[in-house]
Chains A and B, each alone.
Chain A
Amino acid sequence: MSTSLTSLPVLSLVVFLPLVGALALLFIRSSAERALKWTAMLTALLTFAVSLILFFGWRVGEAGYQFVEQRPWVPDVGIGYHLGVDGISLFLVLLTTFLMPLTLLFSWDTVKDRLKAYLVLMLLLETAMLGVFVALDLVLFFVFFEASLIPMYFLVGRWGGPRRVYAALKFFIFTATGSALMLAAILVLGYLHQQQTGRWSFDLLDLYSVVIPTGLAPWLFLAFTLAFAIKVPLFPFHTWLPDAHVEAPTAGSVILAGILLKMGTYGLLRFSATLFPAETYRFTPLLMALAVVGILYGGLVALVQKDVKSLVAYSSVAHLGFVVLGLFSLTAQGVSGAVLQMVNHGLSTGALFLLVGFIYERRHTRLLSEFGGLWKVMPVYAAIFLIVTLSSAGLPGLNGFVGEFTILVGAMQASRFFAVLGTLGIIVAAWYLLWAFRQVFQGPVTNPANQSLKDLHWREVLTVAPIVVLFFVIGLFPGLFLERINPSVEALLSQVNQRALAVQAEPQPQALSLVKLVQRN
């Protein structure tokens, strides 16, 4: 089976099917809403189905890239069309293709304004995001990375809330600033490759062999890392996120929190860490510190939010702090946990935004103070909300625990100080989540507007049910995921370690001492 499958350009299919769907939409009349919706939905479902080939056709136990496609694109400057997935990107691809049909299902009846443009943008966004996770050429990666900004900008700016223009711009400028620096760094890397081998290349695997001058390396590392840190967002670059989430339409929030933010954490691991191993070790204390601040700060600020969406946004800052903490623990548990936690956060937070969307459609408000006692009025909604809340709070048995706990296990080996502070985050997380649940669902029904709210429609249940099922699958049988993630993570870590040690062998006293320092801890 695998031979016939691998001869198919599966990755290209997955990445560009949504684009094809978007083009198809252009030929449908704007007034044919059903046709538009079904075309978009079938495209997303087909993309998901094809992406499942990646999971079932996976060669478990292999660390390297699978389903690789490599052909020259602009050969004269060494830009290649190089795609591949490994255990690190596999589940991010699947998360994207999995969430997309669900967000379209949510949008089924809720988006009425300029439906066609909306659907086209959603599908374009999917192609861009998928491209980010599978591109192995830095220029190709950058093109997808930037391309994902544009549809999101319009989704927030056109279909968003009252301050949508401000929020969309802030989102755009913030991230574009980071990526401008990254582009410069990418160009420098390609230039260095040309200098050292006489051949231009932007291929990630080629660039590993580039020797980066000592003085330059930290700057390049910081350029990449800043771009990704903004995207994550890592404290203190997070202020665009609450604005963007509060103003974004529900589907936009789901995609933004569920997938777009993962481009940042994915980039940190795939590019920052592997291209600049010595610098990674060198800046580990700083990054772990920012991660831990994010965990505690995000949690405490989430506690006092009045709007559910900004509460979830700040909780994302905290959750992604965990991911970054795990990544820069540079241990097997920390990094594998972080990769899994990227998926977990996408599912939990995605589900939270969907649930907030359901209630917003009913009440057109998201203020916590507007609610109370909903458990009585909407028992099914309350039950699902509770499970999602618990998943987000990292309750063992559900998905969030597996990622969070292993991240902290990894962090404990790298730095007890940061790990202990990070673990305090689990108290804060329970606090803001249960406080939100308390305000919305418990107590008496005081607001007459809530008295006769309808419980979830079957289509709404269908929108979140697949996610809830996955909570249990990942929480109880994480092996299905970890057996695919682990080999790639271990390979990546040993590569980073070896190359950091190689740098250490060169006369670079500063890097040397820090590598030793980190390893001793």
Chain B
Amino acid sequence: MLDYAWLIFVPPLAALLVNAFFGRRLGKPAAGYLGAVAVGLSFLVALGIFFGLLGLPAEERSHTVTLWSWIHIGNFRPDFALLLDPLSSLMALVVTGVGFLIHVYSVEYMKLDDEHHQLDARRYARYFVFLNFFIVAMLILVLANNLVLLYLGWEGVGLASYLLIGFWFHKPSAADAGKKAFLVNRVGDFGMAVAIMLIFAAVGAQAGSLAFTDLYRVIQQSAPLLAGVASTVTLLLLLAATGKSAQIPLWVWLPDAMEGPTPVSALIHAATMVTAGVYMTVRMSPLFELAGNTLTWVAWVGALTALMAATIALTKTDLKRILAYSTISQLGYMFLGVGVGGYVAAMFHLTTHAFFKALLFLAAGSVMHALHGELDINKMGGLRAKLPTTYRTFLIGAAALAGFPLLSGFFSKDAILVATFEHHAYLLYAIGLVTALLTAVYSFKMVFVPFWGQPRDRKLFDHAHESPALMTLPLWVLAALSVVGGLVNLPFVATLEHWLEKLVALGPVGKPEHPALAVELALLAVSALVALGGIWLAYRAYVQQPDLAVRIRERIKPLHTLAANGYYFDWAYNKLVEGLWAFSRFLAGAVDQQSIDAAVNGLARAFGWLGSRTSRLETGLVSLYALSLFVGLVVVLGYFLATAIIGR
């Protein structure tokens, strides 16, 4: 049955082709339903893969399906092939499951364009073409059995992201944001490309397929072959991951990506695509463990990104921007988890985060829908009366994000913190804890400011209306998952851990030991206290004493300015890009035209002058020179032929 896993691609691929060619005739909302149903069918196939694997004995849960041979030259033999194992099947479930819900939501949401006019059928269909294309590319990314095919998916989702961020392409800001996302990601892709080439140069003879299973085998049996390049390769892979998963230093594209339609932000820039970097590092974790130091880098990149992004999130008042920085911060947690060897914890948080962050974005979309696109939370207030469903589901999502005890985010975040603590990385643990506090504060800022209190903009408030059922239904499903998602991997029960065990057991370092029960309970309690403390702080600052936040901001003005400006990363990149532009203009002008080309033309003139002086053929017709050059060649050839014949 697993051999039919390729069926997972068929529905979205078919739907995107139909919508691409006949979408306008299908019209609204048929094109949307087509796209949504297709992803639903893919979800069913993903379930089939999951249960198919479950039916196998644990040690046989790694199944390769080769579709066709792809690029074969000498030893280089990557195939179009799928690897079905617990890790890829988990990702496939998340991608198609959350993806399906977001497609359903989009059917209604995308009926209007960015200015709240009716969207024309052609572009409505085009949206679903892009969204289905994203699902296909993301599935290739997570199901690929080798690095080159993973790279195909990796760049494919980047393209989908580019197209969807820039979906309102008539807006310069949206078009620029899409371009920025693609280019920043290409910097990361450069890292991945070089990493793949280096791996091939090292073990091409042993693992020319570049299949993960072959690489694992080489790592287990002949690790010395890779020892020389492991550090370089893993650092390059980390660069790739920081691009796709918006970590320091390549995180700058994700906040701008909020220019895309909100369901896109939910699907691509929160739940699935941005987690690809985490997935990839987990997938390549045996190599990371071989490299030793790189994992420390991963942990620090993750922790610092988590902390810094959380501080930025606190300074923002645009609902989607807060969520964007929150996503960056939560992805940082996942990298922290990977860096301390807590692969299962990272994957656990990836899964729960997909639920509650998709929920938060979709709920934010529902708010936008109600307020004609308004996103500034300082213009909202009291919305819980007008948008009860949106409010309740948003509250659940925010609580899960804040790590409210017993919700999914609580368990998964705690799992990462426990892994960090157990790794004896106490400084990182402290950073994680501080970030958790900040997370709780900004999460409930997003609850208290827009939904509680009095309306700040009467006109906006009066026009607000709850979204239709097709949009609230996915909210409820995701809310339910955000609540119970923790069940996937409860501490002490550890289902996900058993499910992913084989992968983790593969690394030379092995699975981290489970901490003593008392320690684990204590850490759990600390996490709970921090989360509740953060929520209480938010209540104080945004409900009880609204001037408190202002006073704190004044106290730490320089720090606030730093965070509010995103730590000046964008500024630095802009300087770099300006420099490159100036350099390119210099190359095109001073070098290309005024030096190289001038030298060429100068040489030609010199010959021309020489010719005119010596031969008196001062016709000035350069075409004559060209002709004579050719005639000359023919004469030489003829002369040579003649002498050869006579010489006989």
Contact = CB atoms under 8 A, between A and B. Distances in A.
Contact of A430 (B171, B172, B183): B183
Given A376-B170, A438-B175, A478-B71, A420 B645 contact: no
Q: Interface centre among B583, B604, B630, by most A CB within 10 Å?
A: B630
Given A395-B155, A478-B70, A479-B72, A412 B201 contact: yes
Contacts of B622: 169
A445 B626 CA distance: 46
Contacts of B80: 476
If over half of B's interface residues share one DSSP class (helix, strand or loop), that class is named, otherwise mixed; here it is helix
Interface stretch (B1-9, B184-192, B421-429, B473-481): B184-192
A416 B200 CA distance: 12
B175 A76 contact: no
B200 A412 contact: yes
Interface string A377-416: 0010000000000100001110001100110110011001
B159 A390 contact: yes
A408 B151 CA distance: 15
B581 interface: yes
A486 B190 contact: no
B580 interface: yes
Contacts of A435: 179
A240 B601 CA distance: 10
Interface in A134-167: 139, 146, 149-150, 153, 157, 165
Nearest to B180: A434
Interface string A435-474: 1001001111100000000000000000000000000000
B626 A176 contact: yes
A301 interface: yes
B587 interface: yes
A177 B641 CA distance: 21
A431 interface: yes
B584 A442 contact: no
A379 B122 contact: yes
Contacts of A486: 72-74
B588 A305 contact: yes
A413 B201 contact: yes
Given A169-B622, A300-B587, A426-B189, A482 B71 contact: yes
Given A169-B623, A180-B629, A412 B172 contact: no
Interface in A216-241: 236, 239-240
A488 interface: no
B596 A420 contact: no
A173 B73 contact: no
Contacts of B518: none
Nearest to B640: A187
Contacts of A412: 194, 197-198, 200-201
B637 A427 contact: no
Contacts of A373: 169-170
Contact of A336 (B73, B201, B580): B73
Contacts of B618: none
A239 B156 contact: no
Interface string B587-602: 1100010001100100
A300 B183 contact: no
B587 A146 contact: no
Interface in B189-239: 189-190, 193-194, 196-198, 200-201, 204
A200 interface: yes
If over half of A's interface residues share one DSSP class (helix, strand or loop), that class is named, otherwise mixed; here it is helix
B176 interface: yes
Tier of interface size on chain A: 35 or more
B644 interface: yes
Tier of interface size on chain B: 35 or more
A305 B69 CA distance: 40
B193 A408 contact: yes
A453 to B, nearest CB: 15
Nearest to A483: B72
Contacts of B170: 373, 376, 442-445
Contacts of B625: 173
B90 interface: no
A344 interface: no
B154 to A, nearest CB: 8
Given A304-B581, A412-B200, A337 B73 contact: yes
A172 interface: yes
Given A76-B645, A146-B630, A300-B587, A405 B148 contact: yes
B73 A434 contact: no
B182 A236 contact: no
Contacts of A408: 193, 197
B90 to A, nearest CB: 24
B24 to A, nearest CB: 10
Contact of A441 (B169, B596, B648): B169
B116 interface: no
A239 B597 contact: yes
B376 to A, nearest CB: 24
A443 B175 CA distance: 7
A172 B626 contact: yes
A239 B596 contact: yes
A424 interface: yes
Given A304-B588, A333-B76, A479-B72, A442 B166 contact: yes
B58 interface: no
B505 interface: no
A183 B639 CA distance: 13
B633 A183 contact: yes
Contact of B76 (A297, A406, A444): A406
A253 interface: no
Contacts of A441: 169
Contacts of A395: 155-156, 159
B492 interface: no
A77 B641 contact: yes
Nearest to A395: B155
A490 interface: yes
A423 interface: yes
A300 B629 contact: no
B26 interface: no
Nearest to B179: A434
Contacts of B74: 331-333, 336, 486, 490
Given A419-B197, A423-B190, A300 B580 contact: yes
Contacts of B68: 477, 479
A74 to B, nearest CB: 7
B186 A430 contact: yes
A297 to B, nearest CB: 6
A375 interface: yes
B114 to A, nearest CB: 13
Nearest to B622: A169
Nearest to A171: B626
Contacts of A405: 71, 148, 193
Contacts of A304: 581, 584-585, 588
A301 B186 contact: no
Nearest to A373: B170
A183 B170 CA distance: 56
Given A176-B626, A409-B197, A74 B641 contact: yes
Contacts of B584: 300-301, 303-304
B137 to A, nearest CB: 9
B639 to A, nearest CB: 11
A397 B71 CA distance: 11
B152 interface: yes
B636 interface: yes
A444 B175 CA distance: 10
Given A157-B623, A412-B194, 17 more contacts: A77-B641, A165-B623, A170-B604, A173-B625, A176-B630, A183-B633, A303-B581, A332-B74, A332-B75, A373-B169, A395-B155, A396-B148, A409-B197, A413-B204, A434-B182, A442-B172, A479-B69
11 contacts: A169-B622, A170-B604, A180-B633, A240-B600, A301-B584, A336-B74, A396-B148, A423-B190, A442-B172, A443-B171, A479-B69
Q: Which 4 A-B pairs have the closest CB atoms?
A: A332-B74, A442-B175, A396-B152, A77-B644
